[in-house]
Amino acid sequence: MFEYTFLQQYWWFIVSLLGGLLVFLMFVQGGNAMIFPAGKTEMQRQMIVNSTGRKWEFTFTTLVTFGGAFFASFPLFYSTSFGGAFWVWVLILITFVFQAVSYEFQTKAGNILGKNAFRIFLTVNGCLAPLLIGTAVGTFFTGSDFVVNKNAVGDSLAPVISVWGNGWHGLEAIADLRNVLLGLAVMCLAAVLGSLYMINNIEDDALVANLRKALLWAAVPFVVCFMAFMVWIFLSEGYAVDGDGVVFMEKYKYWHNLVQMPVVAVLFAAGVLCVLYGIVRTLVCKTFRRGIWWTGAGTVLAVMALFMLAGYGGTAYYPSYSDLQSSLTIVNSCSSEFTLRVMTYVSFIIPFVLAYIAYAWWKMDRRRISSDELEGTQDKY
């Protein structure tokens, strides 16, 4: 029913979709980054924590599923990137681990470290996690330092097939400014999304006013960093793959991809426009509060398009600059046809999952969080 090539493309689409959803859901991180800058009073900070705290499991679960989907569909990426860019992923995980417990622990009696310590953990996760994830994704375009040698499995003394080329194990990515620009862009985008989400989710005039100010402070550097990254990437050489699977450097590769894949170009343009519309209208119109849905949808589309630019159109999505032919493509790093087919059938349940999430989300968010609600209930963080 499905050709192997179609399945590979389909699973890159699913990974792209999960990537887009993950960045959108990082409004949780961006919201937490606002605990201290936007939350001027204890009640405002409580409202921020409770607003993002009722959604953090979605971000966490999407991150885990993103990892699981990569493992199942592109195991050579899982093997090469996680085992190679070791320190980057370990740092990301540690920040998420602290986030996971901080909501529950921060206001509980007997939490040893005190309320503010756990809120600082939330803030650190809010800044570092998007920054690191963005920087790591930057290497999808700029390349990493690794060699893949599948013949190594035959060596009983040194059978590891993916070997990283330096002892920094991923931290060297910050030496390429393009990676850092994407990291900063994602960090600021998360803050934008966090502000927009809480503007829509919290009923408190003073806090909403603070969040509108924070939105401006986050949106300007986001636009600058994102534009700088995109222009630089479009003007850079990219990692192209020919029909025989041979990887070579091609000038303006990612720009060519955008031009040659009009659907991706439309997705990208629509995504960027939606992101900007949500931001600008929220800033200009003081009664407009639903900017999160415009900017959120735009984020999903734009991030998906970015992943598609990296993976489709004869491109190596996880390139190696030290050994071009070790670069990972959706063809040489994917699971077998049988596994991709099984996983494709499994993926048909995703709309059902999205439907019950949407229903529960709608039921829980019909009323905005307010100080009255938090003062009158024990069902809170």
Residues 191-250 that bind other proteins (CB under 8 A): none
CB of 40 to other proteins, least distance (A): 24
Residues 322, 145 contacting (CB under 8 angstroms): yes
Phi, psi of 324 (to 5 degrees): -50, -40
Window 118-157: residues binding other proteins (CB under 8 A): 150-151, 153-154, 156-157
Window 253-272: residues binding other proteins (CB under 8 A): none
12 binds other proteins (CB under 8 A): no
Residues 135, 174 contacting (CB under 8 angstroms): yes
Three-state secondary structure call for residue 26: coil
Cβ neighbours around 217 below 10 Å, total: 15
Residue from 96, 141, 197, 318 that binds other proteins (CB under 8 A)? 96
24 binds other proteins (CB under 8 A): no
Token reading at 91:
């740092």
**Of 42, 26, 47, whose CA–CA distance to 95 is shortest?**
26
284 binds other proteins (CB under 8 A): no
CB of 131 to other proteins, least distance (A): 18
**Of 169, 163, 154, 189, whose CA–CA distance to 20 is shortest?**
189
287 binds other proteins (CB under 8 A): no
CB of 182 to other proteins, least distance (A): 21
Window 288-307: residues binding other proteins (CB under 8 A): none
CB of 64 to other proteins, least distance (A): 5
162 binds other proteins (CB under 8 A): yes
Contact region with other proteins (CB under 8 A), list: 98-106, 186-194, 265-273, 296-304: 98-106
371 binds other proteins (CB under 8 A): no
Binding mask 340-369 for other proteins (x = CB under 8 A): --xx--xx-xx--x--xx--x--xx-xx--
Token reading at 363:
């039921």
Residue from 41, 160, 213, 285 that binds other proteins (CB under 8 A)? 160
Token reading at 66:
């993103």
19 binds other proteins (CB under 8 A): no
331 binds other proteins (CB under 8 A): no
Residue 257 CA to residue 309 CA, distance in Å, equals 6
Alpha helices in the chain (DSSP H): 4-25, 27-32, 35-38, 42-53, 56-73, 75-77, 83-84, 86-106, 115-142, 177-201, 205-235, 253-260, 262-284, 291-311, 337-347, 350-364, 371-375
- Residue 156 or 287 having the CB closest to other proteins: 156
Window 31-90: residues binding other proteins (CB under 8 A): 54-55, 57-58, 60-61, 63-65, 67-69, 71-73, 75-76, 78-84, 86-87, 89-90
Residue 236 CA to residue 258 CA, distance in Å, equals 14
CB of 68 to other proteins, least distance (A): 4
Residue from 13, 36, 43, 100 that binds other proteins (CB under 8 A)? 100
- Tell me the sheet residues that pair with 250: 238
Site of tokens 């600008």: 280
